[in-house]
Structure 1
């Protein structure tokens, strides 16, 4: 657990403190009134109890705070010789009115929380469709995944990945949809679906890319696009097709780190038709003990409070050399969050492929 995550015990302690806050506020009003008398007219401040209770609790908690405020107002009015004064009437009406409004606010908030819970269930279902569990082993390959949404409390965004078996070997895609929100999620789901269909039977990786481009040309309008890296892992090598995406990192078993950049830059998916030619396939040797890290720009463009980018090429070799690939990738993710100093500002997806002994 990193330093930005609260433990269940700390959350329960915080909630307990917040629930006592309304009664502490009313106790403070009572003490001040007893000390200074009726000159400051502190009785109406008892409405702080039910007002604060609506923030820290539910309808019953708020009703209890209102009842306590009403009970306290009587002896305070007697002490201040205000039982027959219009001020006590105004105070009682104010307490009843604030309590009723606070209870209504609690009810509306509870209904909103139920709707939010339902929306989260739908989002989780969408996540299972978009980012369904991929195999963690494929022959001599071990695969680890990490996905962090920039939207608070959300699990999905515009980044995507998928893995499938094709005629020539294991094929995969890592991509990033332009924009955010539901439109980006919908486009990402469409790209993943098209990839699953094409990767299964397309003869070559370039054919997969062409089918994705045709699919997006029919779907996307204007200047929307998707950056992506397609890869095909075969015996002792890996082939790549880069559509304007950050280049993967090859982590050799001998400790070398190599950016797998294409020989020539190509436009993203959705804009290929505007360029003279699409991307050219390229590749490198991929032997036992080697690792390849695919990632989106939410990783390499993450900045700390001083504005410095996350040094992925410097951190990845030391953090990814652990026994289990998923543990290694989780460690890299925690290091990224600590570098930023909080939640990442953009969706961040990572996919690690390690070649082991067959």
Structure 2
């Protein structure tokens, strides 16, 4: 069976009343949320009947539509409100007149049902609004972090993005692979700060990367375009009166080309150096001497430094992570030791160097180490060259 996409799921939830109301109260795909108020109604009726006229709890029936309002839909809640009034009248008719519940109790049950129905309508509308906002967040995430086809541009890759805010779904981390006539280029980075400003900055950098990485023959020119874009974007947001004057981004820019099959070009903008993970072990790549994007205007330089060319053995995977991994702490305040953990895993099983397995291993290790409490958005990205595959090409992307 084909897996359902997040957008399809959200659309189905929005239009399916049962799924919208209570995802947890389901058995074999069918909603059983109505069972709770129904059982309460039966229990109240039975207790009232068998305790006799000395202990009347008929008015407790007002709880039934209240429970339904919390877990059922509007029409189900309205039905329970009507049924509660009917059962109240029937229960009263069983006893002589002197033991009937008074008119105030009847009014309480009737008004309680109306208020419960209104409260349910407000709750359902709020759920719809929340689902719509999640849909917007998911669309934003897929726009910034566009889905990458398998083995895109002759590179085998895998990525995991974990938001520190489970409701946000999107943050300032970014990654992409861009094929072009000069090879395949990879960009992974992290925008300083959080919120929509960080997302907007990430989108601006990715837009420039996708164009420059395709058209520019030299990786150093791509790097220069990213730096200029960061300064332009920051100047624009500052002119709008927003507090983005100090925003910057760390990033790693990689260049794979057909004429250098055993090497990779690396430009590091103040980011944690990537790890080269292979069957022979784990080693960090040179850190480089560039400042983060947006900070180059703080120092006087003779020009941009050239990319660092690093030998890369076949079947070696480059692992790039953001601060969420390196700054993950356990209950004792100890940081997650990425290189050591990966080295142990590869020593025990060399196949862990596969990008998908490597990303899954790091993800599980970080979540286990931090107890699931991430202090920052986390991106884990792994990429390696496919043996015998052509890189880049003049593709319409």
Q: Is the TM value for this pair above 0.5?
A: yes
Moved more, 312-321 or 183-192: 312-321
Indicate if the aligned counterparts of 1:257 and 1:313 stay in contact, CA closer than 8 A: yes
Pairs aligned (count): 348
Indicate if the aligned counterparts of 2:256 and 2:265 stay in contact, CA closer than 8 A: yes
2:283 is matched with 258
1:3 is matched with none
SS at match of 1:321: helix
1:225 is matched with 248
* Alignment pair present for 1:188 and 2:202: yes
Residue by residue over 1:159-218, the C-alpha shift from the partner in whole angstroms, topping out at 9 and shown as x without a partner, is 111112356532111111223333322221111001112222334333222221211212
Moved more, 53-62 or 65-74: 65-74
* Alignment pair present for 1:152 and 2:166: yes
1:270 is matched with 294
2:269 is matched with 243
2:237 is matched with none
1:215 is matched with 229
Indicate if the aligned counterparts of 2:268 and 2:288 stay in contact, CA closer than 8 A: no
Query: What's the offset of the Cα at 1:92?
Result: 2.2
Residue 114 of structure 1 is aligned with which of 109, 112, 128?
Answer: 128
Residue 303 of structure 1 is aligned with which of 326, 329, 332?
Answer: 329
SS at match of 1:191: helix
Query: What's the offset of the Cα at 1:310?
Result: 3.2
Cα distance, 1:262–1:166 mapped onto 2, change above 3 Å: farther
Indicate if the aligned counterparts of 1:26 and 1:46 stay in contact, CA closer than 8 A: yes
Residue by residue over 1:228-269, the C-alpha shift from the partner in whole angstroms, topping out at 9 and shown as x without a partner, is 111223422222222232221111331x212224154x5422
CA distance in 2, matches of 1:326, 1:252: 14
Indicate if the aligned counterparts of 2:45 and 2:91 stay in contact, CA closer than 8 A: yes
CA distance in 1, matches of 2:86, 2:249: 64
Query: What's the offset of the Cα at 1:58?
Result: 0.2
Query: What's the offset of the Cα at 1:295?
Result: 1.4
Indicate if the aligned counterparts of 1:138 and 1:170 stay in contact, CA closer than 8 A: no
Query: What's the offset of the Cα at 1:56?
Result: 0.9
- CA RMSD after TM alignment: 3.4
Residue by residue over 1:104-132, the C-alpha shift from the partner in whole angstroms, topping out at 9 and shown as x without a partner, is 23223333333444444444433333222
Moved more, 348-357 or 326-335: 326-335
Query: What's the offset of the Cα at 1:93?
Result: 1.9
Unaligned segments of structure 2, at least 5 residues:
1-22, 235-243, 389-397
1:51 is matched with 66
Indicate if the aligned counterparts of 1:267 and 1:275 stay in contact, CA closer than 8 A: no
Cα distance, 1:135–1:36 mapped onto 2, change above 3 Å: closer
Moved more, 72-81 or 103-112: 72-81
2:80 is matched with 65
Residue by residue over 1:32-86, the C-alpha shift from the partner in whole angstroms, topping out at 9 and shown as x without a partner, is 555766777744332221111111110122123223322332355456767776x
